[in-house]
Structure 1
Amino acid sequence: MRLLPGSGKSVAFAVAASVFSLGALAQSWPSGTVTAVVPWPPGGPSDIAARPLAKGLTEALGQTFVIDNRAGGGGNIGTAAVARSKPDGQTLLITSSAPIVINPSLYKKMTFDPLKDLAPVTNLLRVPLVLVAHPSVPAKTLKELIALIQSKQGGFSYASSGNGTPQHLTGELFDKVMKLNMAHVPYKGSAPAITDLLGGHIPIMFDSTIAIMPHIKTGKVKAIAVSGAQRSPLLPDVPTFAEAGVPVESYAWYGLFAPAGTPKEVVAKINAEAQKVMKLPEYQKIRAETGSDYVGDTPENFTKFVHAETAKWSKVVKDSGATVD
């Protein structure tokens, strides 16, 4: 291809102008009120990450960050709204993992593709799940519990906070790995599941340290094992599944996302500002109270993590035959 005289300078100018405009957009972010959509009801675990982050960003950047709890569809409704938003950094998503890495395999029809329609910014919290039992269950260790479940020959059940949640699929992973043939009893949220567990109506359940810790502390349930790679600092005496020779590793994690197409320079700035907030004492307190490691990361590494989680949980969903529609 032959360039006309002076056209090389024009192309160079256009490229330079484009780079400048992207840099200017990043420098000007945020240009007004930022809406952080949480696709779950107020007061849920995602809010634990979202509200201190929004508060910290508001104070640091001088623009208001508003939490918009837009629940429904297992997290799909609010997530889809962000996926369709203008990619300028003014609308963000703070969510648990379900609508990102589980729902695409669980729902037959999705109005968005998380891997294509969202830009991962950073992980915010990552907490292990805890396998807990009602005190009446005659098992103190994971080995004893497995033997008990196997002796019931399909007559043993476990509860979760709902179909397709990390709690449900961690139970499915445990069930399939150990060939336990347990029955799954889904609830509409963690609270009603815990209520039935405390009442002895269901023998065991998986839940995040965020939700179940108060009941472990009071002795109303007993912790059998944690699903993290290491023991939780909140439960130093409770072994991991791996320590018992059971290859189960699972976390309830919460992440920050922007609409796909948001300029990389803007995503990088959002990431940098979010990580500054995550290192402040108030956020560090939240991290300690939930038993989360520091998980702030680059957008690139968080993207790799999201892809790996998608592959992992799609296999669990397929193997379990779980579906919600």
Structure 2
Amino acid sequence: MKPVSLLAMAAAALVAVLPPAAAQSYPSKAVTLVVPFPPGGGTDIVARLVAVKLAARLGQAVVVENKPGAATAIGAGAVAKAAPDGYTLLLSGSSTYSIVPALRAGLPYDPLASFSHIAVVAKAPLVLLASPAAQAASTDELLKRAKATPDGLMFATFGNGSGPHFAGAMLADAAHVKFTAIPYKGSAPALTGLIGGEVAFTFDTVAAGAPHVRAGKLKALAVTGDKRSELLPEVPTYAEAGLAKASLVSWYGLVAPAKTPEAVLSRLTQELTAVMADTEVRKTLAANGLDAAMLGREAFQQLIRKEMAEFKDIAQRASITLD
């Protein structure tokens, strides 16, 4: 064999073991983490917690930028159009990835094609909350009341097409009862209306509902998901109440623009896996009624496809549309 051939083979072998340039240099500047909601909500809490821990592992700042509006389409659309270099990421809830796309055409993004999916990082079980005026100490009692009410019990939503709206439609379908959805402009107004007896029940995050339950202002009847909440350990799950098929669990996922280099995605996945295994992260999430998770790219995409099909079907049968 000629010496030049040996040199060529050695060079080829060296190239094969070297990591891609993108992995070697990424990140070389601050990373922007877009949240398509105002500051202070569940998505913002998850994003800021992840940002701090991820920054420490990446060696660069991870800056949270809130871009609310248009049912999260403004922020999601901005990330979809950003340069696919790993310096602009999106952390948002399931409403962005499955609920809104199931209800609205012509969005400035496609939940599957517009993004490089990294991971689902947290899940947010919901709690079924009843007003004292509903006089229901259990889910079974609430459903019996609904069956005895000709026009169906009224329940609060955060607006048409919101998570609580779907949760109510799923419960009505599973229990073969009728409910009337009353839209409020978010969690706080809905809870105020519920406490005041304007509606019989609503659905909200455990973190939002737990303080009112402890204060005796509301009754927690059941939590979605497959386990009881650490914040409300005395409250049964939907499965325990025989309503597993009606269980709606929100979740939060991290994505980059489509065509982001594989080396960059691998680096982010590696560091994010460590972040979500961090004891402090898991405890902080639990204190906010959230469960840490780490569902990778394929599971993330499968979840979107599954939920979009389900939500389209539910929306059609329950006549749910976006505001």
Asked if Structure 1 and Structure 2 have the same fold, meaning a TM-score greater than 0.5 normalized by the shorter chain, the answer is: yes
Asked whether 1:71 is paired with 2:84, we answer no
Q: 3-state DSSP class of the match of 2:292?
A: coil
Aligned partner letter, 2:286: A
The alpha-carbon deviation at position 21 of structure 1 amounts to 9.4
Per mean C-alpha deviation after superposition, the further-off stretch among 64-73 and 239-248 is 239-248
8 Å contact from structure 2 (residues 207, 231) kept in 1: no
Mapped to 2, the partners of 1:282 and 1:241 lie a distance apart of: 28
Mapped to 2, the partners of 1:258 and 1:317 lie a distance apart of: 29
The alpha-carbon deviation at position 126 of structure 1 amounts to 0.4
8 Å contact from structure 2 (residues 79, 89) kept in 1: yes
Aligned to 2:24: 27
Mapped to 1, the partners of 2:229 and 2:98 lie a distance apart of: 24
Aligned to 1:218: 215
Aligned partner letter, 1:286: T
Aligned to 2:98: 101
Aligned partner letter, 1:287: L
Q: 3-state DSSP class of the match of 2:293?
A: coil
Aligned residues: 313
Asked whether 1:280 is paired with 2:278, we answer yes
**What is the 5 A alignment of 1:54-203?**
54-203=51-200
Q: 1:21 to 1:58 in 2, by over 3 A?
A: same
The alpha-carbon deviation at position 88 of structure 1 amounts to 0.9
Mapped to 1, the partners of 2:252 and 2:45 lie a distance apart of: 9
Q: Deviations over 1:81-132 (max 9, x none)?
A: 1111111110000111101101112113312211111122111210211100
Mapped to 1, the partners of 2:318 and 2:269 lie a distance apart of: 36
Mapped to 1, the partners of 2:288 and 2:303 lie a distance apart of: 21
Q: 3-state DSSP class of the match of 1:229?
A: coil
| Identical residues among aligned pairs (%) | 39
Per mean C-alpha deviation after superposition, the further-off stretch among 34-43 and 60-69 is 60-69
Q: 1:181 to 1:33 in 2, by over 3 A?
A: same
Q: 1:31 to 1:307 in 2, by over 3 A?
A: farther
The alpha-carbon deviation at position 22 of structure 1 amounts to 7.5
Q: 1:20 to 1:161 in 2, by over 3 A?
A: farther
Q: 3-state DSSP class of the match of 1:270?
A: helix
Q: CA RMSD for the aligned pairs? A: 2.2
Asked whether 1:236 is paired with 2:222, we answer no
Mapped to 2, the partners of 1:165 and 1:286 lie a distance apart of: 26
Aligned to 2:249: 251
Per mean C-alpha deviation after superposition, the further-off stretch among 212-221 and 277-286 is 277-286
Aligned partner letter, 2:231: L
Unmatched tracts of structure 2, length 5 or more: 1-7
Per mean C-alpha deviation after superposition, the further-off stretch among 59-68 and 238-247 is 238-247
The alpha-carbon deviation at position 293 of structure 1 amounts to 3.3
